[in-house]
Amino acid sequence: MTETPPDPTHIMDVGMGFFGSRTLLTAVELGLFTELGTGKMSGAQIAERLGLHPRAVPDFPDALLALGLLTRDGDGPDALYGNTVETAVFLDKESPQYIGGILEMASERLYKFWGSLTEALKTGEPQTEVKESGEPVFAKLYSAPERLEQFMNAMAGVSAGNYRALAQKFDFSPYKTLCDAGGATGQLSCLVALENPHMHCISADLPPVEPIAKKYIEAAGFPHRVETAAIDFFEDPLPKADVITMGMVLHDWDLEKKKHLIKLAYDALPPGGAFIVVEALIDDARRQNAFGLLMSLNMLIEFGNAFDYTGADFKQWCAEAGFDRFEIIPLAGPSSAAVAYKPA
């Protein structure tokens, strides 16, 4: 029996994957999916609406069609392009489930910074704005309210599915209070309150975030069950609560700061309390969750010494802090909730 010869297709698909990535990011940047939310368009109409050169069509919309990101009725110049079910829901800015904010940020920042991955791997140093300004990413972000709110909204769009799944899958019935440390817009707290009417939640973050959170919480309709707290979790204790959550927070820091935050959560919990982190947890064997592993490389590019981690890593660090029981709850896509329980 003749063996199948090696096929380079997978290698080429990964190696040239930036073709498709850049095409999607550009479509989001141009607002194509939002424009198509008003109705189907021909290639010429797309070019006119987006201010494109005639050379851009039909290649640009046809490439998105082949990538499964647009539909097309008919062939030739009179063909009409439209959104897919997914792009209509997630990439039209008029949709409440819009996640394009994180892709806009990727287009504006991360795409170019990933061009310096080689340098990051050789030096262990961040490859972002800090190379030029010397100013840490978060310091620059938190100094500009409009930019901060844009970032918070981008993260909220991509986090909604995970937080909704957590609110539904985790058993909150034994608990009454929750504090979300690094709570940003208050989204996690609001979704927990929505799914669990008995819960009272606190969204805790740095002082510049509080007005953004208050606005979101008011709009969500939970001003009486979700409150805000202005804290610096490297300077202040966390508000006491039965459940402490951190969504996409631990991976932003080095090991020493990770352990500090875990101890902070332990100290804020009563006996039997639960500490929950939401992350793109890497599988323990470090073989399967490519997104989690690539996110950890992104943390290298962003911060240098920050990294993503496995469930086993989380269990070890939490055991050192005093937690004695653990579980992993799969959420949306490659993300999971890792839970550590304080002894009763």
Separation of alpha carbons 131 and 122, rounded Å: 15
Among candidate residues 178, 138, 200, the one with its CA nearest the CA of residue 278: 178
Residue matched to tokens 């620059």: 140
Separation of alpha carbons 237 and 135, rounded Å: 26
Burial of 312-324, coded b for 16+ CB within 10 Å and e otherwise, reads bbbbebbeebebe
What is the gyration radius of the CA atoms in the chain, in angstroms? Answer: 22
Assigned token pair, 262: 């875990």
Beta carbons within 8 Å of 82's beta carbon, 6+ residues apart? 36, 39, 40, 41, 70, 71, 72, 73
Separation of alpha carbons 162 and 59, rounded Å: 35
241 near 172, Cβ under 8 Å? no
Residue matched to tokens 């919480």: 217
Assigned token pair, 152: 């918070």
Among candidate residues 290, 181, 157, 172, the one with its CA nearest the CA of residue 240: 181
Separation of alpha carbons 220 and 275, rounded Å: 25
Q: Considering 10, 198, 200, 251, which one is annotated as catalytic?
A: 251
Residue type at 152 in one-letter notation: M
Dihedral (C-alpha) 330, 331, 337, 343: value to the nearest 10 degrees? -70
Separation of alpha carbons 119 and 210, rounded Å: 37
The greatest distance separating any two alpha carbons of the chain, rounded to the nearest whole angstrom, comes to: 71
Active site residue 251: yes
Residues known to be catalytic:
251
